[in-house]
């Protein structure tokens, strides 16, 4: 007779099949784990191969700054693996050049780095003691020297020390102040003065507008525009809008023009 403890052959075969399946699964897991570093290593070797090295650094958008200056600032060596070029860091280095307002860096496979440069536009200039001209962007960044002032640039006076390229003129917003004034004043700005009492602008065929600080420029511009409209043909030497709600106008002989203590707005004056 068959022993009562004997295992059914079908059950025994089933157990063996399950065990073999578990062993095959473990083998696949082990092989997959071993394959991952191999694939990564192979990928690194491919990216480090000469096929994907930097062969060219191409620069576009330059005018005042040279292509060689951009390449030197970018500091991307030929032969560097293209995958390891940090585009953000390259852009930051290029943007340290005084003339460069922005730089976009992209990688083009298999071996080219593209650098697209956007340059500053000079908004103002400072004259040196020997007549040299130093250009300034609207954000106050000093760009470099020029033989003559560019068309449309406004002269800045009252600068104690001629700034170097890459410096930021203080206060930084003074160079672009014309763009913050009303249109009726912006096109008439002849000079911007950085005096001890604050910032002022001299209008062509008009008075000096004393702004004081660069706070509330829109309100100060609106006040100056309204005062000019209220004065009409009355000649004044200056209009002080350092406190825009309480402007003061003065004549060349030191007199103060009365009647400006009423609230000033940018609205056209009412005909009397």
Per-residue model confidence as pLDDT tens digits over 23-50? 667 666 766 666 556 445 444 544 454 5
pLDDT of residue 236: 92
pLDDT computed for residue 131 by the predictor: 86
pLDDT given at position 4: 47
Answer yes or no: are the C-beta atoms of 141 and 176 closer than 8 Å.
Answer: no
How far is the C-alpha of 251 from the C-alpha of 238, rounded, in Å?
A: 7
What local confidence, expressed as pLDDT, does residue 27 receive?
62
Q: Which residues of the chain have pLDDT under 70?
A: 1-8, 11-13, 15, 17-18, 21-24, 26-28, 30-51, 259-272
Residue 57's H or E segment, with its range, is strand 56-60
Please answer whether residues 140 and 168 qualify as being in contact, where contact means their C-beta atoms are separated by less than 8 angstroms.
yes
Query: Rounded to whole angstroms, how far apart are CA atoms 199 and 196?
Result: 8
Question: In this structure, what token pair is assigned to residue 236?
Answer: 């004044």
Question: What pTM does this model have?
Answer: 0.74
**What are residue 117's DSSP bridge partners?**
103
So what's the pLDDT on residue 237?
A: 94
């Amino acid at each position: 007779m068959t022993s009562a403890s004997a295992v059914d052959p079908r059950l025994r075969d089933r157990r063996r099949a399950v065990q073999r399946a578990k062993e095959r699964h473990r083998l696949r897991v082990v092989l997959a784990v071993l394959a991952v570093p191999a694939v990564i290593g192979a990928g690194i070797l491919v990216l480090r191969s000469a096929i994907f090295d930097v062969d060219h650094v191409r620069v576009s958008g330059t005018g005042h700054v040279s292509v060689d200056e951009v390449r030197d600032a970018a500091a991307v060596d030929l032969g560097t693996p293209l995958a390891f070029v940090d585009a953000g860091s390259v852009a930051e280095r290029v943007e340290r050049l005084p003339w460069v307002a922005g730089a976009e860096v992209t990688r083009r496979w298999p071996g080219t780095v593209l650098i697209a440069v956007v340059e500053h536009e000079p908004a103002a200039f400072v004259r040196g003691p020997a007549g040299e001209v130093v250009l300034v962007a609207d954000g106050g960044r000093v760009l470099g020297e020029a033989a003559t002032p560019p068309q449309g640039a406004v002269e800045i006076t009252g600068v104690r020390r001629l700034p170097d390229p890459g410096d930021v003129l203080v206060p930084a917003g003074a160079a672009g102040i014309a763009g913050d004034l009303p249109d009726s004043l912006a096109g008439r700005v002849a000079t911007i003065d950085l005096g001890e009492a604050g910032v002022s602008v001299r209008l062509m065929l008009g008075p000096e507008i004393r702004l004081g600080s660069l706070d509330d420029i829109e309100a100060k511009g609106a006040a100056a525009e309204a005062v000019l409209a209220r004065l009409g043909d009355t000649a004044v030497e200056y209009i002080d809008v350092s406190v825009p709600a309480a402007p003061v106008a003065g004549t060349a002989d030191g007199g103060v023009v009365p009647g400006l203590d009423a609230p000033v707005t940018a609205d056209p004056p009412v005909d009397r």
